[in-house]
């Protein structure tokens, strides 16, 4: 295909991505180095029956004028990145100096909003992803050995947790684990503790969110692995059987190597998706115990006064996080590409 033809075919999609994915990233970076204008203060002398008083008031019209003239705000450099709401360099070094053992240092750090969100995001991403892969694989192997009339039905119900809107899925589970809901009361009965509430404890809230994450994404892994099992080379399996491989050995040495490329794919997609976890935290109202990077941005943007610069700085940090997460894949792809080209 000629360059020119390619250009015209690719123009609409390229333009859409440029305008609404690349430019917003530029906009986020710009916004993160500016702070909102401070209100313009005016000193007014107020004279009443009891003498004159000097009062400082906000000059609304002047503030407004300044804001329309320079909507980005004042240039602040990297100041926002290092303040308490983000990297909190001053607080971290202070905590390091006055530390009382490593545990104490970590717990101080964990009280800073950015690090708190970071720790949950990482724990969530790196526990949910392997767990859902294992569960998805187990379901795929199980379903594959079912009678074929049953398969369709099982696949139908298995798809539901993944297809349903994340916010809705988490709400449905949230209502069930409410202390008055069915799972909540079942847990109270099992633990023999009528005051047990999953929402009140940080540890249990994390477990709850992780369980939700696995529930929501396991079907994806299941479907991909199930499709992979359909293309399993039968003769390899048969020769393994003739050589006396046990069922477990067949899975370990024939099935898993065959599914390996799919596993990389599932892991990549799920790492990306789990890193941006947001809806479950909103749905479970879990923000008191667990916040994620996406949730901090969401919270900054959703408030009465939208904290655009603060949200932008967190966004940039999140994007850096995503790139670190993606870098092994990108490096590998780049190498593959070059070895192919040679």
Partner 1 sequence: MSSKATQQPFYLRVIVYAFVGFWLVLAAFPFLWTFWGSFKVELDFFSIADWTNALTGERTQQVHGSSFTGDGYEGAWVKEEFWRAVLNTFIVCFFVVTISLTFGTLGGYALSRSGHSYTFWLLIAALIARAMPQITLVSGYLLPFFEWNLWGYLPTSIIVLVAINQPFTLWMLHSFFQKIPKDLDESAKVDGCTQFQAFRFAIIPVMWPGVITTGLFSFLLAYNDFAVTTMLLNKENQTMVPKIASFLGTTQTEGNVMFAVAAVVSATAPLFILVMFFQRQIVSGLTAGAVKG
The residue (of 108 and 217) whose beta carbon lies closer to partner 1 is 217
Restricted to residues 87-106, the positions that interact with partner 1 (CB under 8 A) are: none
Residue with tokens 């290092």: 82
Q: Which residues pair with 56 in a beta bridge?
A: 43
Least spacing, CB of residue 205 vs partner 1, in Å: 17
The residue (of 208 and 262) whose beta carbon lies closer to partner 1 is 262
Among 17, 65, 78, 106, binds partner 1 (CB under 8 A): 17
Of 54-62, 78-86, 101-109, 270-278, the segment contacting partner 1 by CB under 8 A is 270-278
> How many residues of this chain interact with partner 1, rule: CB under 8 A?
103
Least spacing, CB of residue 62 vs partner 1, in Å: 19
Least spacing, CB of residue 93 vs partner 1, in Å: 27
Restricted to residues 274-303, the positions that interact with partner 1 (CB under 8 A) are: 275-276, 278-279, 282, 285, 293-294, 297-298, 300-302
Restricted to residues 304-333, the positions that interact with partner 1 (CB under 8 A) are: 306, 308, 311-312, 315-316, 318-319, 322-323, 325-326, 330, 333
Among 75, 96, 253, 265, binds partner 1 (CB under 8 A): 265
Restricted to residues 135-194, the positions that interact with partner 1 (CB under 8 A) are: 138-139, 142-143, 145-146, 152, 154-161, 163-168, 171-173, 175-176, 178, 180-182, 185-186
Least spacing, CB of residue 10 vs partner 1, in Å: 5
Restricted to residues 195-234, the positions that interact with partner 1 (CB under 8 A) are: 215, 219-220, 223-224, 226-228, 234
Least spacing, CB of residue 59 vs partner 1, in Å: 22
Does residue 31 touch partner 1 according to CB under 8 A?
yes
């Amino acid at each position: 295909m000629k360059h020119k033809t390619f250009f015209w075919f690719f123009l609409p999609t390229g333009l859409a991505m440029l305008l609404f994915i690349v430019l917003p990233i530029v906009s986020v970076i710009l916004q993160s180095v500016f702070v909102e204008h401070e209100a313009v203060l005016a000193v007014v002398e107020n004279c009443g029956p009891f003498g004159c008083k000097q009062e400082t008031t906000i000059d609304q019209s002047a503030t407004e004028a300044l804001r329309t003239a320079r909507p980005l705000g004042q240039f602040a450099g990297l100041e926002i990145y290092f303040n308490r709401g983000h990297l909190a360099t001053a607080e971290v070094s202070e905590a390091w100096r006055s530390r009382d053992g490593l545990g104490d240092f970590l717990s101080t750090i964990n009280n800073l909003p950015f690090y708190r969100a970071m720790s949950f995001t990482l724990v969530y991403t790196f526990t949910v992803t392997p767990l859902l892969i294992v569960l998805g694989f187990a379901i795929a192997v199980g379903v594959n050995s079912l009678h074929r009339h049953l398969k369709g039905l099982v696949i139908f119900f298995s798809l539901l947790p993944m297809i349903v809107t994340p916010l809705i899925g988490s709400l449905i589970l949230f209502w069930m684990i409410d202390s008055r809901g069915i799972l909540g009361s079942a847990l109270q009965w099992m633990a023999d503790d009528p005051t047990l509430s999953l929402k009140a404890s940080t540890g249990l809230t994390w477990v709850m969110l992780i369980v939700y994450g696995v529930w929501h994404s396991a079907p994806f892994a299941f479907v991909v692995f199930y499709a992979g099992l359909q293309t399993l080379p039968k003769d390899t399996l048969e020769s393994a059987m003739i050589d006396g491989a046990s069922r477990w050995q067949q899975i370990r040495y024939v099935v898993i190597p065959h599914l390996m490329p799919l596993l990389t794919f599932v892991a990549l997609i799920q790492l990306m998706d789990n890193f941006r976890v947001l809806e479950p935290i909103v749905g479970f109202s879990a923000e008191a115990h667990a916040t994620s990077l996406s949730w901090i941005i969401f919270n900054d943007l959703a408030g009465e006064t939208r904290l655009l610069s603060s949200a932008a700085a967190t966004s940039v940090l999140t994007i850096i996080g995503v790139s670190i997460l993606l870098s092994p894949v990108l490096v590998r792809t780049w190498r593959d590409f070059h070895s192919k080209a040679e």
